[in-house]
């Protein structure tokens, strides 16, 4: 009989004690289940962190539970995706329907010179945008195709409109500015690796 202690992967749930509703489903190992609260102690603006902070502000603690243990990481990913689908992504603070890594290949376009003067966003500003909103950047990169737009809410509000503008307009501009310089590729890969996105860059067209 294999000891359960060898099952290093697990799927876990974070629950709001005020209503008993699960608000986040994740997959991880070691201390992953506690890392969200560490993140929430910073000023990170994600829905998940806002939910955790609201629970604390009400004088409660987040209910954390490991719901399944696995020896195989792929099986853990599958269980995580199934559980998210069962609860419904719209009922959770998860950005994605699972944490399975996605490989994205980029082929840099041929450089084109133009006599027209263009207004180019400063590189440091673009980097600040990408670093601060990496989760939304990862969501945008996972869109079904290049023409897809991210819809935050079927019933538009000022907040959702602002987020959609950020994701569909501002982030792509910053992304194109930063990715155009091959010197930035290594840092971009490191930036997105925690979001299970593996960037693979093809050589630039001469």
Helices 123-132 and 185-192 cross at an angle (nearest 10°) of 20
User: What average pLDDT does the structure give for the chain?
Assistant: 82
Domains and CATH numbers, the chain: 4-91 (3.40.1440.10), 102-202 (no CATH)
Task: Note the helical H segments in 7-107.
Answer: 32-40, 47-57, 73-87
Q: What confidence score (pLDDT) does residue 198 get? A: 85
User: 124-167 pLDDT, tens per residue?
Assistant: 999 999 998 888 888 888 877 777 787 766 566 777 788 888 88
User: Model pTM?
Assistant: 0.54
| Degrees, nearest 5: CA angle 21-13-196 | 125
């Amino acid at each position: 009989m294999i000891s359960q202690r060898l099952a290093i992967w697990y799927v876990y749930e974070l629950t709001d004690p005020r209503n008993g509703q699960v608000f986040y489903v994740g997959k991880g190992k070691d201390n992953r289940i506690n890392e969200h609260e560490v993140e929430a102690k910073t000023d990170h603006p994600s829905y998940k962190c806002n939910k955790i902070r609201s629970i604390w502000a009400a004088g409660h603690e987040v209910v954390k539970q490991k719901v399944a243990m696995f020896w195989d990481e792929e099986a853990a990913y599958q269980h995580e995706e199934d559980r998210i689908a069962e609860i419904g992504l719209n009922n959770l603070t998860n950005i994605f329907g699972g944490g399975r890594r996605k490989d994205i290949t980029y082929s840099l376009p041929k450089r084109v010179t133009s006599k027209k003067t263009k207004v180019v966003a400063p590189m440091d500003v673009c980097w600040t945008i990408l670093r601060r909103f990496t989760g939304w950047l990862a969501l945008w990169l996972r869109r079904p195709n290049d023409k897809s737009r991210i819809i935050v809410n079927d019933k538009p509000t000022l907040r959702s409109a602002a987020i959609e503008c950020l994701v569909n307009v501002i982030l792509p501009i910053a992304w194109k500015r930063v990715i155009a310089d091959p010197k930035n590729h290594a840092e971009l890969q490191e930036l997105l690796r925690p979001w299970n996105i593996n960037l693979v860059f093809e050589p630039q067209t001469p």
